[in-house]
Amino acid sequence: MDMIQVDGLSKRYGGKYVVDQLHFEVPQGEVFGLLGPNGAGKTTTLRMLATLIRPTAGTARVGGVDIRQRPLEVRRNLGIVNGGMGLYERMTGEEILRFFARFYGIEGPEFKRRLAWVDDLLEMGDLLKKQVREMSSGMQQKLIIARAVLHEPPVLLLDEATAGLDVFARRALLDFVAHYRTMGHTIIYSTHVMAEAEEVCDRVGFLHQGKLLFIGRIEEALQRYNTPNLERAFIRAVRGAA
């Protein structure tokens, strides 16, 4: 079953398309890497999938729900994490999670169950009792992830989620991606760090100037571009397109 279906998705600002006619599917239980440098159109693509901005043309379905026709239902079925999300500095981790849980109607005993679940899933420890201003960047990113998955979404969008993290926090996030996948969930992992994609992704798409140059399994990319790693494969794909 395809949890994400993208059909001609496009976004234009002014006279320029920053995302141009994307077509791809992501089946249930897959980690799909959307790979490209800054400015390639990765964030715009994920923001359209998350119904935060409207497409200029085309559409997509998340869990079978059209992003144009039923955006609120789409949002209930996904979580999103990016490298620039903020948190309220004077609130504790638990207070932030409780606040956002209310948007999904999660309160009382159900909130306690979900809180225990993310605590176990992410090994949050005393983070729940600390104020945000007392947390390291890695702790804050862990809290942002907890906030995104508290409602147990079947689809998770990660946009440069390791940006600014130290080596320990980065490792924790990559391990989390692998674990969340084993639960049967679907993930789009957007990054320009090709080594991360090689570790966690089942398939990848090379995005350059808003266009997809390649979609396939990692070994297929290495074979097609006759390279030992994804970074070199991506560079060859871009040079070939030019």
Q: Is 90 exceeded by the pLDDT of residue 229?
A: yes
- State residue 107's pLDDT score: 93
Average pLDDT score over the chain: 92
Confidence of residue 84 (pLDDT cuts 50, 70, 90): low
So where are the chain's domains? 2-77+155-241, 88-152
- State residue 3's pLDDT score: 95
Q: Is 80 exceeded by the pLDDT of residue 164?
A: no
- Number of Cβ within 10 Å of residue 105's Cβ equals 10
Residues 6+ apart with CB under 8 A from 213: 206, 207, 237, 238, 240, 241
CA-to-CA separations, 117 to 82, 113, 120, 201, in angstroms, rounded = 22, 6, 5, 24
- State residue 140's pLDDT score: 86
Query: In angstroms, rounded to a whole number, what is the distance separating the alpha carbons of residues 242 and 237?
Result: 9
Mean pLDDT of 203-217: 97
Q: Is 80 exceeded by the pLDDT of residue 86?
A: no
Q: Could you tell me where the DSSP H helices lie in 38-160?
A: 42-49, 71-76, 93-101, 108-122, 137-149
Rg (CA), the chain: 18
Q: What is the 3-state secondary structure (H, E, C) of 12-71?
A: EECCEEEEEEEEEEEECCCEEEEECCCCCCHHHHHHHHCCCCCCCEEEEEECCEECCCCH
Q: Is 80 exceeded by the pLDDT of residue 165?
A: no
Confidence of residue 125 (pLDDT cuts 50, 70, 90): confident
Confidence of residue 85 (pLDDT cuts 50, 70, 90): low
The more confident residue out of 166 and 107 is: 107
- State residue 136's pLDDT score: 84
Domain 2-77+155-241, architecture per CATH: 3-Layer(aba) Sandwich (3.40)
Phi, psi of 213 (to 5 degrees): -95, -25
Upper half-sphere CA count for residue 125 (Cβ side, 13 Å): 4
